[in-house]
Structure formats: structure tokens, C-alpha cells
Structure 1
Amino acid sequence: MPDDEYMKQRGLDWGAAYRRLARLATATEASLVSDPEQEQAVLDERARQLSRTATPTAAPGHLLELILFHVDEQDYALETRFVREVLRSSEQRVLLPGAPPQLRGVTLLHGEVLAVVELAPLFGRPAPTQHGPVLVLGPSRAELGLRVDHVREVLSLTRDSFLPPPAALSGQDRTLVSGITREGIIVLEGEALLGDGRLFFDLSEERVT
């Protein structure tokens, strides 16, 4: 996991990033005040998220509820119990020049700073440059934002219908994959993804006021 010295060597200006996030927070607050309907929609969405209950871990032969998404010419799936919400776009994020390729930037989520990361570099591919939706991940609270190209649908599959992870994967990369479907969808292991130190960074000033 990158430490403060690593960040300094990479030339990351956290102070500038937080100043930009503060401006984004101010602009977001102003837009909500000027648009009561949008403000109510945001409040309704928060209420729906708070009312969600975690889905217990499914046994091997039971159905898993998965969210299907597309990144860099590959379809992936992840259990919905690890996805708290979906942000429409990653455009309102602060880029961090010099950051490792898997760190796309940071953004604000309900006043909290959230790291937005890329999946492709974990599998040895270049990080895409286009914008797209962000999956907010975390079983009980928002821990990570995962930028994707498209969110396709929610589907149900049984774990014992998966094929083994591709032979080309090895080591840490292999632990991120539960299996692959016969249609070529890579099913990610949510706990391993949220426990991968390559995706977590020291965001020292967590809250923007």
C-alpha cells in the first residue's frame, strides 16, 4: 500500500486535491439548494440505500445476485451485496497527477472523500481514459469507488455453475476471481477485492467541510 513518502515521490499534491474537492462540495451544495426536486431525489436515494439490508453469503449451490458491468472490452460481475450504490458518472472527480494507474482520482460522496480506482491495471492492462459510472463498494459502508464503462444488468447465477479462473491468472490476481461463466463473464470475489492493498491509499483529510 503506498505510504506518504511514496506519494511525495510520485508528486501527488493532496492539498490541491482537497481544495478542488472543497470547491466541488460547495458547487454541489449550491446546485441542490437551487433545485428542490433534485435535492428531494438525493434524499430519497439516500433513504433507499439506508434501508438496504445485507444479503447473506450464498452457499455453493444457491443463487447469487450479481451486478454485471463492462470494463475495457471485458464483462465482469460482482455480488450485489458488495455494491452500495451506483454513481452515474466519474466526471466529477479530482485527478491526481503522478498517481499509480489503478488510482483514477478522488471524488465526494455525501461529504466524504472516496478513492476512485480502475480494475484493468490489476490484471496487467492499461487503465482506460474514458469516463463512466462508479460502483460504490463496501459491505457496510462506502470504502471504494470502482470506475466502469457500463453497468449492464443484475442477474442470478449459482456458484457451482462457474468455470475455474483463467489459467493465465496467477498469484494475487487469481484470488480476485471467483470463476468465469460459460459466456466469458469474470466473476469477481468481493471480499478479496476490498482487501487488496493495491486499491487503498492514505486519504489523510477524509472529510471536506
Structure 2
Amino acid sequence: MSTSPDTAGNARQFLSFTLGSELFGMDIRTVREIIQHGAITPVPLMPDFVRGVINLRGAVVPVIDLQARFGRGPASVGKKTCIIIFDGQRDGERVELGMMVDAVSEVVALEAGDTEPPPQFGGAARRDFIAGMGRRGERFLVLLDPDRAFDIGEMASLCEASQLALAA
């Protein structure tokens, strides 16, 4: 069966990016922009995964270190390090967040047949952070579920716990 232009439009697009040697992706519809890593203002008493805040055209935007959010140590900043600005959700409202990654690769179109459910065992990220696995030739692209990986309520609770622990 050949693919007609009508069925070819069913592909979903993902922004692919790297953390170390691992390849990740997130739905391009949630991405607002990509900016170079620059000055980040640290915020006291925050957990390791909150690098700080940036001033984005007058708005205060928290920056999440994805490496640390996955329970690893804080990421090192390199020449290609950048911040992906995306929309998070909190109580039904849109919230701008920044996600620090090693490098942005490309926009990848994946057909429904090119994706698999998340693995049933451990991996690069908590299983509930993963929406699925995208096949790219011989490699897989770990497709993040931003509403879970960057659950603002959960991250706020972790920030409060961190503040309490440091204040004690």
C-alpha cells in the first residue's frame, strides 16, 4: 500500500535533543523557542534540578536542568548547551519553563508505526516521564511527556521539601 499525501500528514513532529550520548524528543507543539545558554540567576534553597531563572523579554522563566531532573548530577555547560522554552501546565494554566539540554539536534517526523510504548523497566528517565520510544533507523528517540516530566505541582513540592531540609 502506498502512502498518499492524505495519509502522509499523520506524522507527528518532535524536537530532538541530546543529553550526553542519549537522544530525546518532545512534541514540537509544546516548544516555544530555543535560546543559547546564557546568564542564569540562581535561586537559593532550590533543588539541584532548578538551575535558576532567566529574563526572557521581561518574563521570569525557571530553568530546569534535565540531567538533574532525571536524578543524575547537574549538567556541565558546553558550547552547544541551550535552553528549550516550552509550555508547561499548572491548574489548567500555561506556564513558561526552560529546559537545559546538551544540544538540540533537529525536528523529526514520526509516523504512528515508528513509535513504541515506553519500556517496562528502568531506562534513561523515570518511566512515567516517557510518552514512548521513537524509532530512528537503528537508534531510539526517548519521547518525553512534558506534562509528567515537568509536573509543576510535583516540582513545587520538591522545592518546598528542599527548602525545609536546608532550613533545618
Displacement of 1:196 in angstroms is 4.6
Displacement of 1:99 in angstroms is 2.5
Partners of 1:85 and 1:66 in 2: CA distance: 13
Q: Which amino acid aligns with 2:82?
A: P
Displacement of 1:199 in angstroms is 3.7
* 2:53 corresponds to 1:106: yes
Displacement of 1:101 in angstroms is 1.3
The CA deviation string for residues 127-155 of structure 1, in whole angstroms up to 9 with x for no partner, is 21215210001178552100011011111
User: Which residue matches 1:92?
Assistant: 39
User: Which residue matches 1:129?
Assistant: 76
User: Which residue matches 2:11?
Assistant: 63
Q: Where does structure 2 lack aligned partners over 5 or more consecutive residues?
A: 1-8, 161-168
CA contact (8 A) 1:162 1:179 kept: yes
Partners of 1:122 and 1:134 in 2: CA distance: 14
Compared CA separation, residues 192 and 62, structure 1 to 2 (3 A): farther
Normalising by structure 1, report the TM-score. 0.58
Aligned residues: 140
User: Which residue matches 1:173?
Assistant: 126
Q: Which runs of 4+ in 1 moved over 4 A?
A: 139-142
The CA deviation string for residues 87-129 of structure 1, in whole angstroms up to 9 with x for no partner, is 122x211123553111011110111111000122333322212
Q: Which amino acid aligns with 1:86?
A: I
Partners of 1:88 and 1:141 in 2: CA distance: 23
The CA deviation string for residues 15-63 of structure 1, in whole angstroms up to 9 with x for no partner, is xxxxxxxxxxxxxxxxxxxxxxxxxxxxxxxxxxxxxxxxxxxxxx931
Where do residues 17-166 of structure 1 align in structure 2 (5 Å cutoff)?
A: 62-89=10-37, 91-96=38-43, 98-131=45-78, 132-138=81-87, 143-166=96-119
Compared CA separation, residues 191 and 98, structure 1 to 2 (3 A): closer
Partners of 1:68 and 1:110 in 2: CA distance: 25
Where do residues 189-208 of structure 1 align in structure 2 (5 Å cutoff)?
A: 189-200=145-156
After TM superposition, the structure 1 stretch with the greater mean CA deviation from structure 2, 65-74 or 94-103, is 94-103
Partners of 2:19 and 2:47 in 1: CA distance: 18
Q: Which amino acid aligns with 1:67?
A: L
Partners of 1:93 and 1:106 in 2: CA distance: 6
Percent of aligned positions that are identical: 26
Partners of 1:119 and 1:141 in 2: CA distance: 20
| 3-state SS in 2 of match to 1:120 | helix
| Structure number with higher helix proportion | 1
